[in-house]
Amino acid sequence: MTVKSALLYILKIVGIILGIVIIYVLLGLLIPYIPVSAKDDGQKKEIPVYIYTNGVHTDIVMPVKNDLQDWSLKIPFANTKSKRTDYQYIGIGWGDKGFYLDTPTWADLKFSTAVKAAFWLSESAMHCTYYTNMKEGDDCKMIMISRGQYEKLVKFVEDKFDRDRNGNFMLIPTDAVYGDNDAFYDAKGTYSFLYTCNTWTNNALKAAGQKAALWTPTDFGIFQHYK
């Protein structure tokens, strides 16, 4: 292979990669505008659920306990640094384990972490955060859902947790938590540029019969439907 042929080959590879990136960005910007409408099951909307983003990861935030579900039995308060038992809400999000443990903000992002996450090369995790209260804002939206919708949401969320032989959620021992009120657990599935933490949250909303984007890799794709 001549030098000229080698350069042309490299340019073709670079062109293909850039083309894929451009197509992905365009689809990531356009497809989220295609809405999935909410489904009314005819039941009273009585359970508050929040969609929350920290700018990187999105969570579904639910009451810690009601007569349908007690999350503290499966995600013990004792697994947080504070070990407080008076929290009222729990936020749960799915994502790449490397992103969660090594990238609390975009400033912490490493090239190796991004590559592994984008191309199905690392494990996933559930990030569980307890809150005393929730406040609506640009980063947090509340929706009221029915009991039936909540049961579907709970099932969707629970099904993403990996479990031990006794059926318990599997805590990830780490000091890389974001505060004194959160913990990480092993999860099923593999993160990729096609299925991100925000894609999972968007699918959780679909499972609960709520407004969502047809597909989105970003939190913007979700929140634009809740303006």
In this predicted structure, the answer to whether residue 79 has a pLDDT above a threshold of 90 is yes
Is the residue at 203 inside a domain? yes
% pLDDT > 70, the chain: 88
CA distance 61 to 204: 11
Please name the residues in contact with 35: beta carbons below 8 A apart, sequence gap of 6 or more: 211, 212, 213, 214, 225
Q: Pick the more confident residue, 107 or 131.
A: 131
In whole angstroms, how far apart are CA 7 and each of 14, 113, 168?
10, 29, 54
Q: What is the pLDDT of residue 3?
A: 72
Asked whether residue 152 is assigned to any structural domain, the reply reads yes
In a domain, 134, yes or no: yes
Q: What pLDDT is attached to residue 29?
A: 87
| Segment 51-76 mean pLDDT | 96
Q: What is the pLDDT of residue 24?
A: 66
Q: Is residue 15 exposed (0-12), middle (13-18) or buried (19+ Cβ within 10 Å)?
A: exposed
202 in any annotated domain = yes
Q: What is the pTM assigned to this prediction?
A: 0.88
Share above pLDDT 90 across residues of the chain, in percent, rounded to a whole number: 69
Whole-number average pLDDT of the chain: 89
> Which amino acid type is present at position 48?
P
216 pLDDT above the threshold of 80 = yes
Residue 140 is which amino acid? Answer: C
* 9 domain residue, yes or no: no
**Is residue 48, in this structure, part of any structural domain at all?**
yes
Q: Which two tokens stand for residue 58?
A: 């999105």
State the total domains in the chain. Answer: 1
- The reported pLDDT for the residue numbered 227 is 87
Q: Whole domain around residue 117: which residue ranges?
A: 34-224
Residue 176 located in a structural domain: yes
Beta-strand (E) ranges in the chain?
35-36, 47-53, 58-63, 89-96, 124-131, 140-145, 182-186, 212-213
Determine the pLDDT at residue 1.
Answer: 66
Q: Are 208 and 152 in contact (CB under 8 A)?
A: yes
DSSP letters, 58-125, are EEEEEESB-SS-BGGGTS-GGGSSS--S---EEEEEEEEHHHHHH-SSGGG--HHHHHHHHBT-S-EE
Asked if residue 116 is part of any domain, the answer here is: yes
Between 194 and 159, where is the model more confident? 159
Q: What's the whole-number mean pLDDT along residues 86-100? A: 92
- The residue that leads in pLDDT, 209 or 96, is 209
